[in-house]
Structure formats: structure tokens, C-alpha cells
Structure 1
């Protein structure tokens, strides 16, 4: 069985639902439009430097290890400020390194279990403990995963991308443990398909769906733990997830850098390719696109 197995990845990465909605154009920086809509290149409104606003954001946070929080629809600059502060918090972030022999042994074990039990049953048993730890970390705001869970995530990703997609979707929108486990073990189930559709529909089409800044910041730290723990050849997929979350937050520069690095490691990482294309051509998530349009309309009045 090949590395990507018979079980196909979810629409967050390689499925036709997502790919067809994005232009497949060359990733040339020289071809990027000059009227950039990247937030990093636009003037920030005064709230970005308002100490009282920053203090209110910090007081609103109810998650351990987080520097600030959002409990209502955020302004553009406040959202950016909060997530950059939150993602930079060192508290609760672990540092671990997995060696190649251990990953290879785990991958062989996983492969054998899939042959013996079948994909859905084997994947469900393999990823369940990691899903529980991941969900606990998202809820508690501390980027901690056990060595066993990291091994299962990394070794599993060498065989199937379903866990990668489940982790990413869980950051984009709240999932129940049951939904995330189903997504990781059986991505073709009708309920899994609906979960992914609802998540992506909000990201791309609903300007009223905002990122959960605290959740996204914790997700960024969790994926960073994975990136730092694995050999370079295994970093493309977690880096692509970091790029996706940065894009969802409106950080096009960071998204571009992470997706570009992922593609340097694995030119075949479709999720990174999609996000790099979006970042290069300043394609924004619905909430951010609406925020820019509203601000431009206000400037013209």
C-alpha cells in the first residue's frame, strides 16, 4: 500500500471540492497583483495601538496560557494583534524530537494493522488517543502532546492524510470528539463530509463566520510542536496546516512563507499549493474580504 493509501484525503487539502474553487496559476511572486489586499501591507486602524483595547482583549481571554481573547466580532487590527500575541506565548508549549527509527517502526505497525483490520477500524483505534489529547489541548490552551500521540500522528500521516485534515478542521471550527474521530477514521462517511463542507463553507462564503482567535493560536502552537518534533521530510503537512490557519486569520505573509517552505520539502503537498496560490493572489477568507470592503467603503465616504 502506498504512503497515501486507498483512503483519500479530505477537502481541506486535495479533494476536488476545494481545488476547483481556487485558481491553479503559477506561484510567481512577480505575477502577484500590485494592489495587494494582504493585511500586512495595509495601514492598520488606531485600535492596533490602543492600550485600552489591548487590555480589554487580554481580560476577555478565558483560556490558560493565552495572552488575550475575543468574545465578539473583532476588528481587523485587534484580531491580528491578539493572535500574534497569543501564538507567541511560550507557556504550555513543549519541545520534543522524534527519531526516524521510532517513526518508521510506528508506521510499519500502523500499516500492518490496516492490512489486518481494515482502514476504518484500524485508523479509528490508531488515532483515537491522539484525538483525545488534541481536543484536550485545544480546550485547555496548552500545546502539549505525548510522545505516543505525536508518533501516531506522524506515522499515520505517512499512510493517510485523514488525521491531518481532522486536526486542521478542529482548529477552523469546534468539533465534538466523536466528529473528529469519525473524520480521522472514516473521511468518506456522510457525516464526515458534512462536517468538512460546513467548515469550509463558513471559511470561504460566510462573512459572519470569524476565526476563534484563542483556538487558532492554540492550534498554531500545536502544529508547531509537530513541526519541531519530526524530521524535515515530515514537516510539509503540518507546515501546510500552519499556513492554512494563518490564511484563515488574514496573515497572508506568514501563510505565504509557511506554504512555500512546505512545498520546498514536498512539492506534491496539494494543501500547501492551494494556500500559496491564495496568498500569492491575495484571496481572502470571507470575513476578511468583507472587512476590507467595508473599510474601503468607509474610506471613500
Structure 2
């Protein structure tokens, strides 16, 4: 019986290893595809095309409770690895209220991050959300986002985990949850240059939180 159990466990481990290898191969292929597309068509066009369908899936997950498709998980992980504008758009979709959840707004954030009007809009949305004493986040929506990001971080190769972990830390910081520290530290352990994770960690250590939590 012991031999049968060990054989079964080994079979499961082999299948898990094969699954990880397939995902890693897919992520590498997607990364090459996005880099080439950005080089050929320019970041604005390529990034907009890249996030178009994944953003639909992301918003359906946030607002309709639908599961985030694995294809969209991998596309978003690759997108965040190549341009932090995708990460920032996802953050706004979670904490930025109704305006931040509009797809057209998110597309601008992801594909035109340096346009003055886009920068100004992002600043207004985040500042308003952080400083509104009558505000507060939809915790169920935040938890749905954190759950999807945790799933994403759980299947992608290590370097692609940094930004999902960072968003998780950011959102949990805004909720006043101590778990944020764990995720920020995990992101920094992979990439010590991740400035947003460091900002979250520093803010929490100094007791800086959104106005409604003070």
C-alpha cells in the first residue's frame, strides 16, 4: 500500500511540475509576443490591444463575480511585467470608485500613461479616494480582486509575481489589513527595486492610512 501511495504522490507531483512548465513556457511566449508587438506597432497601440479582452474579464470578475480566465491572468501578469501602467490601471479599477471602473478610463491608464490629462485623472481619482472621510472601499470587491491576484501569483514564474503581490499589498493597506505587510515583503524579496511595495511598507510602518481609517 505504501508503494502505491508513493507512486500516486509522485504522479501528482510530476503532473504539477509539467503544469508549471507549460505555464512558464506560455508566459515566456506571451512576453516575447508583447515585446515584439510594442516594437512593431508602438507601446500605445500594442498595449491597448493587449489589455482589451483581459480588462473585460477583469471587470466582469470585479463587478459580476465571474472567475478570471487563466488566459487573462497570464496576459495581465505579462503586461504588468513589461509596463507598470497595466498594474496602475488595475489598482484604480479596485479603489477608484465608479469612474475608475470604466473600461475606457482603464484603457487610457494602461496605454497612454504619460499623457498629461491621463496622469491628472489618475491623480484625482486616487487622491479623492484616499482622502474622502466618508469613503471606504467595497471590501467584497477588494477581496475578489485580491483572490484573483493571489491565484495569478500562484501560477506564474517568480519574476511575474512581483506586481500581483504589490497590488494585493496596496489594496490591503487601503483596507487597513496587516496582511499587506506580508505581500509587500514578498514582492520586495523577489525584486528589491519594487518602489510601490516599499511605499506600502513604509506607509504602514508610519501609520499612514486612508482618511476613513484614521
TM-score class normalised by the smaller sequence: 0.7 to 0.9
In the alignment, which residue of structure 2 is the partner of 1:132?
A: 56
1:177-256 matches, cutoff 5 A? 177-251=103-177, 253-256=178-181
In the alignment, which residue of structure 1 is the partner of 2:92?
A: 169
Structure 2 CA distance for aligned equivalents of residues 215 and 198 of structure 1: 21
2:202 to 277, 280, 283: 277
Q: TM-score, normalised by structure 2?
A: 0.84
SS of aligned partner of 2:82? coil
In the alignment, which residue of structure 2 is the partner of 1:18?
A: none
Runs of 4+ residues deviating >4 angstroms: none
Preserved CA contact (<8 Å) 2:77 2:163: no
- CA shift for structure 1 position 191: 4.0
Structure 1 CA distance for aligned equivalents of residues 118 and 141 of structure 2: 21
Over aligned residues, Cα RMSD in angstroms? 1.7
Structure 1 CA distance for aligned equivalents of residues 129 and 198 of structure 2: 18
Structure 2 CA distance for aligned equivalents of residues 214 and 195 of structure 1: 25
Structure 2 CA distance for aligned equivalents of residues 116 and 209 of structure 1: 43
- CA shift for structure 1 position 187: 1.2
Count of residue pairs brought into register by the alignment: 192
- Residue 155 in structure 1 maps to residue 75 in structure 2: no
Structure 2 CA distance for aligned equivalents of residues 198 and 110 of structure 1: 30
1:46-85 matches, cutoff 5 A? none
User: Which runs of 5 or more structure 2 residues have no equivalent in the other structure?
Assistant: 1-18
- CA shift for structure 1 position 244: 0.6
Preserved CA contact (<8 Å) 2:74 2:156: no
- Deviations for 1:124-177, whole angstroms, at most 9, x for unmatched residues? 0111010110011111124x2223212211222221111111111100023211
Higher relative contact order (CA 8 A, sep 6+): 1
User: Which runs of 5 or more structure 1 residues have no equivalent in the other structure?
Assistant: 1-95, 290-301
SS of aligned partner of 1:116? helix
- Deviations for 1:195-220, whole angstroms, at most 9, x for unmatched residues? 31122212432212211122212111
Q: TM-score, normalised by structure 1?
A: 0.60
- Residue 266 in structure 1 maps to residue 191 in structure 2: yes
Compare the two structures and name the one with the higher helix fraction: 2
Preserved CA contact (<8 Å) 2:150 2:164: yes
Structure 2 CA distance for aligned equivalents of residues 197 and 208 of structure 1: 19
